[in-house]
Structure 1
Amino acid sequence: MVKQAIAVLESSTDKETKSGTASGEAGEIHRAASVRYEERSNGGQAGAGSKVITTVEARSFCRKVPVIGPEVPCRQVMGQFQRQPELPCIVVCDDDHIPLGLLMRDRFFRHMAGRFAADLFYEVAIFQFAEQQPLICEGDTPAGELLDLALGREGTSFYDGLILTDQGKYYGILTIQDLMQMSRELQREADEARQAAVRDSRDRIVEIEYSMGDVAESAKRSWQELEQMNALSLEGRQELEAVKASFTRVLEMARFQEKQMAKLLEQMQQISSVADHIRRLADQSGMLAMNASIEAAHAGEHGRGFAVVASEVRKLALQTKRFSEEISETLGAVNHFIQQTAATATSTVEEMAESHERVVNADGTFQSLVESARVAEQRSQEMFRSSEMAAERTRIVLMELQHLTSLS
């Protein structure tokens, strides 16, 4: 019966009082919600990945309100509210001081404002009119989390106070005004943290600007040095091309000399063969002269003149043989020297061919070096331009941060 009567009175009295009382508080509550939302947004901008440590504690904002038992009659509670006009609510606790419910002043007075409320409810236990599922949090709960929980409530409970406990026992109450004040304090800390982050970012950007200037200067020097190295590489390759051309000509001359020495050796062999042939002819002439002398001796007086001729022919044959032997010895020595020279020429050609191949390989390596120097010069130039652009953008960011610092 009591609950049915309460429902009837709520339907009649809410229409008269709710529009006037709740409308003023609603604006304050939603402003508190907007403050909390702004705090979240600004906190998110303070620094990616950084966790803001706040010094705001909910206990420092809570207030003490009277505590009553669940069986206290409504008349006694009405008298207490009338004696303390500033009292926003009363907490209902059991004997162990554990919160059971919350009785908000405005809602209680709306219940008691009916024509028959005094007769019906003054002796009824107050627990019937209390919010039996109030928002209860431990006192060490972070302030931001408390605001999230309070602003997440719906319906008429959105305007209720928040009960703080200490190890489950009643500690104090946070009204909407207290939550708003706590939110403003959080907002102030967030603003200070944001300003500190902006100043820190500005200082870091200044350091980055100096570093980018050093990088740009270093890139410029590297570009100039690589440009000079590229020019020297091109000049060196031109010199190497000249050396390669000289080696090519020398190699061709050495190969020509090798061929000439081979031909000379062949001719010397032919001359040696002719000398051998002359020596054999001299031997035959000597044999013929000796036979002629023998025949002249057999002829006696008639062959004396022929014997003289045969003797002279024999002397001439001996001289011819001696000369041919000397020629053969000389040709042998010359042939030996020619063979050594030919072997040296062949070895020289081989060495020149290897040297020419090394020069060709060095030319290819130098060509790669020139190409690498050219690419390095281009990349160094690009790095210099990129570092200049980065330095310019850093200066723009620094100017914006300085402007933001001056505004804050």
Structure 2
Amino acid sequence: MPMLLEEKPDQREETIYTQEVIASRLGQEEKTAVDIKSQVHLKDYCRKVPMVGIHTTCGEAAGMLNKDQAYPCIVLCDDQMHPLGLLMRETLYKILNGRFAADLFYHKPISRISDSSPVIVDIGMDALGIIDIALSRSEKQFYDCLILTEEHKVLGVLTMRDVMSLSRTLQHKAGEERTHTITNSRQEISGINNSISHLVQAARNAGEEAQQIMKWSEQGEKSLLQVEASYNRVHEHMEGQRQHAGEMLTSIETGAGMARSIRSLADQSGLLAMNASIEAAHAGEYGLGFQVVAGEIRALAKQTREIAGNMSTLLENIGKLTQQTVELVRASSAEIADSSVHVTAGGTAFKQLSTSVAGMSRIAEGIVTEGKKAGEMAEHINRKLQDMVTDS
């Protein structure tokens, strides 16, 4: 009678590995968990198992599995190493340990009892996709191995323990990447918070400078208003001087006319005195007194003529000087009027500057307010990220 398998496992296939295999796998898992930044390779989780043809008997398969307890299954392949089926160790145990199973199946090909539709995954598939396929299987096939292929040729198998180890490695890797991302985010947010703090401080300083500029603008505006008022008063005074100078010119013209009249009278008096002397000479001794009086009148007329001439010359000189003064006053008045326009424009510019600075100050205050809010929000996010890092 053919020999049955020497022992029958009482546990599921993923728990019947030898201590050496378990220690090796755990060591590999720990190493993978520590080196979570390295790329995950499915070949690191692939198990080598017996790969046989379709004519292999159940007895031969039992001998292979008895020879090495680390084999969880046997893979059926064709001549090109393409997978055709899968025979789990537990399935073979159940069949061959029946009452008449050995006689019925020991010399039969394993193709009759193997799973002809095993789950086959390619080495190039995404690890998460393989995990999802493994976990979405029915309960009947949940603990069966997955056949791993490369270019449709069998490389080995993945047990559920391998799948769970792969899942744990990916979780560690994702956790590390999440922690790394959170840490970088915390640093970025800290940098943003510092930038916001600097911006708030700069806005506060700008607001203070704007307030100072507003004070200076107000002072400058007041000073310009005072200068404008002084210019207006000087302009009024000079206008009055111009009017007075004009009146003086009129008076000088009048005086010059009077001087000319006096000179004309002096000339006429001289002619009368000369006529009187002639008439006195004709009268002889009776005209001696008239002749003396005529001589005095002639001398007085001459003196009056000289005085009138001097007065006329003096009045003309005074008139010229007065006319020059009027011209200077008129030019100065025009300059003051032009300066007053510039002073007024300066006052308007100061008002506009004060208005613009006030607007800038309001903007700076808004930046300070919004910056404080952004800083508080960044600090809140930073604390949340710190909590996430601590929890992870």
TM-score normalised over the length of structure 1: 0.69
Counterpart of 1:364 in structure 2: which amino acid? Answer: T
Q: Which residue of 1 aligns with 2:55?
A: 72
Query: After superposition, what is the alpha-carbon deviation per residue over 1:204-226, rounded to whole angstroms, capped at 9, x for unaligned?
Result: 54455555445444444443443
Q: Which residue of 2 aligns with 1:46?
A: none
Would you say the 8 A contact 1:74–1:124 is kept in 2?
yes
Would you say the 8 A contact 2:120–2:149 is kept in 1?
no
Query: After superposition, what is the alpha-carbon deviation per residue over 1:187-214, rounded to whole angstroms, capped at 9, x for unaligned?
Result: 0121222233334444454455555445
Shift in Å at residue 251 of structure 1? 1.8
Query: After superposition, what is the alpha-carbon deviation per residue over 1:251-302, rounded to whole angstroms, capped at 9, x for unaligned?
Result: 2212222222222223222322332233233333333433444444455555
Measured in 1, the distance between the counterparts of 2:145 and 2:336 equals: 103
Give the structure with the higher percent helix: 1
Measured in 1, the distance between the counterparts of 2:369 and 2:130 equals: 53
Would you say the 8 A contact 1:96–1:169 is kept in 2?
yes
Q: Which residue of 2 aligns with 1:274?
A: 258
Compare 355-364 and 123-132 and name the one that shifted more.
123-132
Would you say the 8 A contact 1:88–1:104 is kept in 2?
no
Work out which of the residue numbers 164, 179, 183 in structure 1 matches 2:163: 179
Q: Which residue of 1 aligns with 2:371?
A: 387
Q: Is the aligned partner of 1:334 residue 2:352? A: no
Measured in 2, the distance between the counterparts of 1:145 and 1:164 equals: 13
Measured in 1, the distance between the counterparts of 2:312 and 2:140 equals: 139
Q: Which residue of 1 aligns with 2:84?
A: 101
Counting aligned pairs with the same residue, the percent is 32
Q: Is the aligned partner of 1:261 residue 2:248? A: no
Would you say the 8 A contact 1:100–1:132 is kept in 2?
no
Residue segments in structure 1 that go unaligned for 5+ positions in a row:
1-20, 22-51
Measured in 2, the distance between the counterparts of 1:162 and 1:300 equals: 178
Counterpart of 1:273 in structure 2: which amino acid? Answer: G
Compare 259-268 and 179-188 and name the one that shifted more.
259-268
Q: Which residue of 1 aligns with 2:269?
A: 285
Query: After superposition, what is the alpha-carbon deviation per residue over 1:160-191, rounded to whole angstroms, capped at 9, x for unaligned?
Result: 75443456643222244422221111001212
Would you say the 8 A contact 2:87–2:114 is kept in 1?
no
Q: Considering only aligned residues, what root-mean-square deviation do their CA atoms show, in Å?
A: 4.3
Q: Which residue of 2 aligns with 1:35?
A: none
Q: Which residue of 2 aligns with 1:351?
A: 335
Work out which of the residue numbers 298, 304, 310 in structure 2 matches 1:320: 304
Query: After superposition, what is the alpha-carbon deviation per residue over 1:353-408, rounded to whole angstroms, capped at 9, x for unaligned?
Result: 12212221111122122223322333333333333333333333333333333333
Measured in 2, the distance between the counterparts of 1:301 and 1:102 equals: 188
Would you say the 8 A contact 1:230–1:377 is kept in 2?
no
Measured in 2, the distance between the counterparts of 1:233 and 1:152 equals: 78
Shift in Å at residue 334 of structure 1? 0.9
Compare 159-168 and 395-404 and name the one that shifted more.
159-168
Compare 248-257 and 129-138 and name the one that shifted more.
129-138
Compare 323-332 and 387-396 and name the one that shifted more.
387-396
Q: Structure 1 287/152 Cα, relative in aligned 2: closer, same or farther at 3 Å?
A: farther
Q: Is the aligned partner of 1:190 residue 2:174? A: yes
Q: Structure 1 102/312 Cα, relative in aligned 2: closer, same or farther at 3 Å?
A: farther
**SS of structure 2 residue aligned to 1:227:** helix
Q: Structure 1 158/262 Cα, relative in aligned 2: closer, same or farther at 3 Å?
A: farther
Q: Structure 1 331/80 Cα, relative in aligned 2: closer, same or farther at 3 Å?
A: farther
Counterpart of 1:277 in structure 2: which amino acid? Answer: S
Superposed, which structure 2 residues align to 1:1-400 within 5 Å? 54-69=38-53, 71-72=54-55, 89-97=73-81, 99-103=82-86, 105=88, 126=111, 131=116, 135-138=120-123, 141-144=125-128, 146-147=130-131, 161-166=145-150, 169-298=153-282, 300-301=284-285, 303-400=287-384
Q: Structure 1 298/171 Cα, relative in aligned 2: closer, same or farther at 3 Å?
A: farther
TM-score normalised over the length of structure 2: 0.72
Residue segments in structure 2 that go unaligned for 5+ positions in a row:
1-11, 13-35
Would you say the 8 A contact 2:37–2:173 is kept in 1?
no
